[in-house]
A and B are shown apart, each in its own frame.
Chain A
C-alpha cells in the first residue's frame, strides 16, 4: 500500500431526518489508492448512492446530518465551500449516473456542455474548449465525433448518451471518478462496451474509480477490489479474486449464490430469506442477523467488529472470530 491514499473516509455517518428518520450510513470507513478501481456492491437501499453523494457534497444540508471525515488528496472536503467546492466538484472528483438525463441538459448540444465545463474549470476560451470537447468524444469512441458534437442529447441512442456523459465527466481530468450504476439501464452488448471503455480510460488517465453496482458479474469485469455494503456499512472488503473465490460474510455468500451463474435448471435456489432492515434506528447489532442462517446470541447484542482473515481483507462477522491474521 502506498503511504497516502487518494481517498480516506473515516467513521462516516449520514442520517436523514424529515417525515421519518433514516440512518443511511453508519460508521463507514474506506480508503482508496491512486489508480485503483473499487466496486461498491450491495442491495437497494444499502447506502451506495448516499456514499457517493456525500463524497461530492450533493446531499441537501437542511435535512441531512453528516459526521466523520473525508479526505481527498489530503484535503478535508467537509470544510470546502463556495468557489473551492465548485472547483472540487467536476474538477478533482466527478460523477456519472445511471440516467444520463440527470447530467446532460436537453437544451444544449453535447459539445456546448462539455466546452462550458472545461471553460469553467480551466479558464480557457471557447474555441480551445470546443477542441477539448472534440478530443473527449474521440476518447470515448463516439463515431463521427465532429457531427456528434453538434447533437442534442435526445438525438443520441442510450449507449451514445452514456459515452457523452463519460466524456463530460472526464473532461477536466478528475483524479477520482464516481460511477453510480452507469450501465444498469443499458443492453448487455452495450454494457460491456462501456465497461471496457472505462477500463481503458482509467489506465490512460491514471484515475481512481468507485463503481457502484448491484450486479456482481459487472464488478468481476471491472473492479480490482470490492466492498460489499449492507444496511449503511461495509460488511466485507477484499480483492475481486478473494470475494469471488472465498466470500466470508453470509450476505456476500448469499449474493453470489443468488447470481444464478451456472445454476442447474429446476434446482431450488438458496435464497436469502426476508428483506433488508428499515434503518429507522441506528444499528447496534449485526443488521444481517434476522436473515442469517448462522446467527448466534452474540450477533444480536453488539456490532460485530472487523476481522482481517487475509492480506487486504476485512469482514464484519462473528463467524470470523479467531481467524485474523497473526
Chain B
C-alpha cells in the first residue's frame, strides 16, 4: 500500500540526527484546592523538571509506577495542558516561538487506554476517523477514513457504518489508531494504548503498530506498565519516579543491568513465569510517597535499601552509567566520589 501522505518526507527538516523532540526542564504542578473559598492548599509535583529527547524513527518506552507523571508528560508534549516551565523543541523549532502550538499538534497524535471514552458515541466509526481530516481541510476525508480503516484491519464495508458500542475493545482501539493516523502525524504517543486489551488481542494490535510505524515512518512514545511489552516494542526506555527521570537508556542495556535501585526493584517485580522460581520476597516495601510532598534529595530515599545521609540531602544528577554513553541514571552510587559509600570507583566494563 502506498503512503497516505506523500508529503511526509518533505517535513523532515533537521535530518535524521536531529531529535524529533527535545524536552528541557519540563515542569507541571497541579494545585489542589479545597475549603469554601476553593483556595489552593497544596501542590502536586506531577512533572518536576525533566529533560529528554525523542529520536526520529525510534520508539521511546516510558515506565514507572502509577502517578509518577507519565501521562502528564505526554499531555505536555502534545499541548493538552500548559507547561509551567521548560521548553519543547520539535525538529529544531521551539514550540510557542518558531512553531505555533497549533502547527505542532498536527504532527503529534495520542492514543489513550480507554478505547470507548475516546470515541464519539453518536458518530459511526467512519465519521469518527474522517472528522479530524475534515476539520483540517485535508482532501477527501471519507476516502482517507476508509483507506485507514482497511489498513488497521477493519473492512470499511463491514465496519464503517457501525457505532463504537457495536465493536469489541480491540476493534475500537484499532479505530482510535486509524483516527490518530488520519492526521498524518510524525509522532504518535500511545498512553497505555494496549493495556485494556486481552492478551490475545494485544498481540494483534502490537503487530499492527509495528507495521504502521514502518509504513508511515512514524516515531512512537509508548507508555505502559507492562515491562514485557515495553521491552518488546522499545528502542530506548525512560524510567520515571515521582515526577522525575531516574534512568534512561537503550532497552538491552537497561534490561541487562539496571543502574538505579528503583529500576532494579521495578524489574524484579516482573512475574517470573516459572512456578519453581516464584518470587519469595517483595522487591520493594510500601507504596510510592505522596507527590504533594516529595522526599528531599533523591526522591527514592524513603524506600531505597542503599540510602545513606547524602541521599536525603543532595539530589543526584542524571549521569552516564558505565561505558554506554546513552545509558543515564540519577543515583549517588553511580557517581564517583559522590559521598555515597558504595559509589562506583572502578569503571564498569
Contacts and interface: CB of A to CB of B under 8 A. Distances in A.
Interface string A186-208: 11111111011000000000000
Contacts of B276: 241
A276 B199 CA distance: 12
Contacts of B281: 196
A91 B236 CA distance: 51
Contacts of A186: 66
B310 interface: no
Given A44-B169, A160-B287, A217-B273, A192 B282 contact: yes
B275 interface: yes
Nearest to B59: A265
Interface in B269-285: 269-276, 278-285
Contact of A254 (B200, B226, B274): B200
Given A217-B271, A220-B275, A269-B207, A261 B287 contact: no
A244 interface: yes
Given A44-B169, A220-B274, A261-B273, A271 B266 contact: no
A166 to B, nearest CB: 15
A244 B282 contact: no
A320 interface: no
A323 interface: no
B269 A188 contact: yes
A260 B200 contact: no
Contacts of A272: 200-201, 203-204
Nearest to B171: A275
A57 B41 CA distance: 46
Interface string B191-211: 000000011111110110010
Contacts of B275: 220, 240-241, 244
A220 B272 contact: yes
B198 A44 contact: yes
A275 B272 CA distance: 28
Interface residues of A, number: 47
Contacts of A187: 65-66, 225, 287-288
Contact of A220 (B202, B251, B273): B273
A159 interface: yes
A99 interface: no
B227 interface: yes
A273 B170 CA distance: 11
Contacts of A268: 207, 210
Interface in B222-247: 225-229, 231-234
Nearest to A141: B285
B273 A190 contact: no
Contacts of B271: 215, 217-218, 220-221, 261
B284 A189 contact: yes
Nearest to A273: B204
Interface in B161-205: 168-171, 198-204
Nearest to A43: B198
B317 to A, nearest CB: 25
A255 interface: yes
A193 B316 CA distance: 28
A214 B270 CA distance: 15
Given A263-B232, A275-B168, A189 B266 contact: yes
Interface residues of B, number: 47
Contact of A193 (B65, B169, B201, B282): B282
B202 A196 contact: no
A232 to B, nearest CB: 15
Contacts of A263: 228, 232
Contact of B202 (A191, A258, A261, A270): A258
A3 interface: no
A280 interface: no
Given A265-B251, A268-B207, A192 B199 contact: no
A95 B284 CA distance: 27
A259 interface: yes
Nearest to A159: B287
Nearest to A196: B282
Nearest to B202: A258
A158 interface: yes
A196 B199 contact: no
Contacts of A79: none
Q: Which of A187, A217, A221, A244 has the most CB of B within 10 A?
A: A187
Contacts of B168: 275-276
Contacts of A191: 269
A157 interface: yes
Contacts of B207: 268-269, 271
B24 interface: no
B225 A258 contact: no
B265 interface: yes
B206 A269 contact: yes
A293 to B, nearest CB: 13
Contact of B200 (A215, A241, A258): A258
The list of the 3 closest CB pairs from A to B, nearest first, reads A217-B271, A271-B203, A43-B198
Interface of A: 43-44, 143, 157-160, 186-193, 195-196, 214-218, 220-221, 240-241, 244, 251, 254-255, 257-263, 265-266, 268-273, 275-276
7 contacts: A159-B287, A189-B266, A192-B269, A260-B232, A265-B231, A265-B232, A269-B206
Interface of B: 65-66, 168-171, 198-204, 206-207, 210, 225-229, 231-234, 251, 265-266, 269-276, 278-288
